[in-house]
Amino acid sequence: MAEKIATRESYGNALAELGEKYDFVVLDADLAAATKTGTFKKKFPERFFDCGIAEGNMISVAAGLATTGKVVFASSFAMFAAGRAFEQIRNSIGYPHLNVKIGATHAGLTVGEDGATHQCFEDLALMRTIPGMVVISPADDVEAKAAVEFAINHYGPVYMRFGRMAVPVVNGEDYKFEMGKGVNLRDGKDVTLVANGFMVHLALEAAEKLAEEGISARVVNIHTIKPIDKDIILDAAEKTGAIVTAEEHNIIGGLGSAVAEVLCEGCPVPMLRVGIEDKFGRSGKVQPLLDLYGLTVDNLVAKAKAAIALKK
CB nearer to another protein: pick between 56 and 294: 56
CA angle centred on 271, ends 208 and 172, rounded to 5° = 40
Among 87, 187, 238, 265, binds another protein (CB under 8 A): 87
Stretch of 53-61, 230-238, 270-278, 291-299 contacting another protein, by CB under 8 A: 53-61
Regarding 43 and contact with another protein (CB under 8 A), the answer is: no
Q: Minimum Å distance from CB 110 to another protein? A: 30
Q: What is the CA radius of gyration of the chain?
A: 19
> For another protein, how many residues bind (rule: CB under 8 A)?
28
CB nearer to another protein: pick between 98 and 206: 98
CB nearer to another protein: pick between 62 and 195: 62
Among 16, 66, 179, 236, binds another protein (CB under 8 A): 66
Strand 243-250 with 271-276, pairing: parallel
248 an active-site residue? no
Helix (H, G, I), strand (E, B) or coil at 112: helix
Q: DSSP characters for 57-76? A: HHHHHHHHHHHTT--EEEEE
Q: 212: Cβ–Cβ under 8 A, 6 or more apart, which residues?
A: none
Regarding 129 and contact with another protein (CB under 8 A), the answer is: no
Q: Minimum Å distance from CB 116 to another protein? A: 24
Among 14, 16, 62, 167, binds another protein (CB under 8 A): 62
For the chain, the distance separating the N- and C-terminal CA atoms, rounded to the nearest angstrom, is: 36
Kindly name the residue from 9, 17, 46, 55 that is annotated as catalytic.
55
Q: Provide the H-helix boundaries in 171-222.
A: 199-212
Stretch of 55-63, 220-228, 258-266, 270-278 contacting another protein, by CB under 8 A: 55-63
Regarding 263 and contact with another protein (CB under 8 A), the answer is: no
Q: Are 85 and 123 in contact (CB under 8 A)?
A: no
Q: Across the beta sheet with 25-28, what order do the strands follow?
A: 48-50, 25-28, 72-77, 100-105, 158-161, 134-136, 224-226
Regarding 69 and contact with another protein (CB under 8 A), the answer is: yes
Among 14, 16, 25, 167, binds another protein (CB under 8 A): 25
Regarding 88 and contact with another protein (CB under 8 A), the answer is: yes
Q: Minimum Å distance from CB 136 to another protein? A: 24
Best CA proximity match to 12, nearest among 105, 77, 87: 105
Regarding 49 and contact with another protein (CB under 8 A), the answer is: yes
Best CA proximity match to 14, nearest among 140, 200, 155: 140
Strand partners, 220: 184, 194
**What is the contact surface with another protein in residues (CB under 8 A)?**
25, 46-47, 49, 51-52, 54, 56-57, 59-70, 87-88, 91-92, 95-97
Catalytic residues: 55
